[in-house]
Amino acid sequence: MDIKNFMSTKEYARTLDQQDVLVSYREEFYLNPGMIYLDGNSLGLLSKRAEKSLMRSLEDWKRFGINGWMEGAEPWFYFSERLGELSAQLVGAAGDEVIMSGSTTANLHQLAATFFEPKAGRNKILADELTFPSDIYALQSQLQLHGLDPATHLVQVKSRDGKFLEEDDIIAAMNEEIALIVLPTVLYRSGQILDIERLTKEAHARGIMIGFDGCHSIGAVPHWFDKWEVDFAFWCNYKHLNGGPGCVAGLYVNRKHFDKKPGLAGWFGSRKDKQFDMEHSFTQANSAGAFQIGTPHILSMAPLLGSLEMFAEVGIEQVRSKSLRLTKYLMDLIESELSDYGFNIGSPRDESKRGGHIILEHKEAARICKALKKEAIIPDYREPNMIRLAPVALYTSFQEVFETVQVLKKIMDGRLYENYENKRGIIA
């Protein structure tokens, strides 16, 4: 399906849905009647398969008790590795280079503790000023643990316009003082995709380790971490991968680092046949599994199994193809229908630079988001003036995108946003 001869009509949206090869997957999700859900970049919806895989693990607990670690539909002792293998095709890696473990920030702490090895003259970390705050907190903390001042040893590349990053500016900051680089794959506000391959090549040419936060891309954008020789990556699984609130996170470690001792060791990083020897000498797994710390949260991982089965069927390339069509259609509608209302699209038009969501900027953004929710359309808000809209390939229809823009027009025509205070809620 290709979006050509654009028309701002419901009939055209229906035609696009009729041509959609992924339309049947809408039936896999619990969609609330009358609601349009465009916040999958914060929390994906529950699928029937995710529910089923969760109930299967509960049944194993009910039936087997502690024996569920080695018996049942999915023995828990190998569950993290099983999910890692299923996730590997999403990031362009081998199955043993990916593991499900911890949370996004805990995994960053693990990886920074492992790969940040400051030496005299090379003891700084490079990040950027637009990245998600939790990453900055973790990197500041890691520097402090080494007795280094974050004010001088955390270098944050500046944005020229407050929305996007220039790869040239990042590369210019890769000097001889930088020991580690941590960057987002996709900027959480604007949705800009960074050139991971180029940045990795430039870092390695200078002898610098580099890793990426994939929270806003994994499950929406294909990656090839092995081919690009990325050192490590980490991400959450509750956004585009629909693993459920607080779902266990993922991490990738390139196999060339399998012999590297984890900065934060724990017993689930042990080689499987040695873990229950209970020795006080650590025999680490020869895989990404070595970077696990504690016992995996089985019931927080279980829904991910059902979700990943769908991604294995569809393939990330098909997901990406539809995602790009959805976001392009949304931007075309915004430009066609909302050009007179003070909106600005704050995401890249170039599809090679655009992730799975778009930013719609407006001075009344917080109020408009509240008005949208009153109309049963679920976006999210980011300071200072950004409405994030994420049409998700597996469950958002083109007609829903069309209807969203019509509702936005209704809100602006009727000044319905004036019923609300222009400030975010406790959770934006």
Here the tokens at position 281 are 């000498």
Task: For residue 286, give the 3-state DSSP assignment.
Answer: coil
- Are 190 and 166 in contact by the 8 Å Cβ rule? The answer is no
Q: Report how far residue 143's alpha carbon sits from residue 113's, in angstroms, rounded to the nearest whole number.
A: 10
Alpha helices in 92-213 (DSSP H): 104-115, 133-145, 150-153, 167-172, 196-205
| Separation CA 352–CA 342 (nearest Å) | 26
380 is in an annotated binding site: no
Which backbone phi and psi does 220 adopt, to 5 degrees?
-125, -30
Q: Cis peptide leading into 303, omega within 30 of 0? A: no
Rounded to whole angstroms, the Cα distance separating 251 from 98 reads 6
Judge whether 132 is annotated as a binding position: yes
User: Which pair of structure tokens corresponds to residue 377?
Assistant: 């359309």
Cβ contact 313:300 at 8 Å: no
The answer to the question of whether 295 is labelled as a binding residue is yes
Instruction: Report which residue type is found at 349.
Output: R
The response to whether 283 counts as a known ligand-binding position is no
Q: Is 105 annotated as a binding residue?
A: yes
Q: Are strands 36-37 and 377-378 parallel, antiparallel or unpaired?
A: parallel
Question: How far, in Å, are 330, 372, 404, 405, 413 from residue 409 at the CA level?
Answer: 13, 11, 9, 6, 6
Query: According to the annotation, is 340 in a ligand binding site?
Result: no
Give the whole-angstrom CA distance, residue 325 versus residue 12. Answer: 14
Hey, what are 284's tokens? Answer: 């680490």
**Is 104 annotated for ligand binding?**
yes
134 is in an annotated binding site: yes
Does an H or E element contain 336, and which? helix 316-337
Asked if residue 114 belongs to a known ligand binding site, the reply is no
Cβ atoms within 10 Å of 132's Cβ, excluding its own: 16
Residues in the annotated binding site: 104-105, 132-135, 213, 216, 238, 267, 295
Task: Cite the annotated binding site for pyridoxal 5'-phosphate by residue number.
Answer: 104-105, 132-135, 213, 216, 238, 267, 295
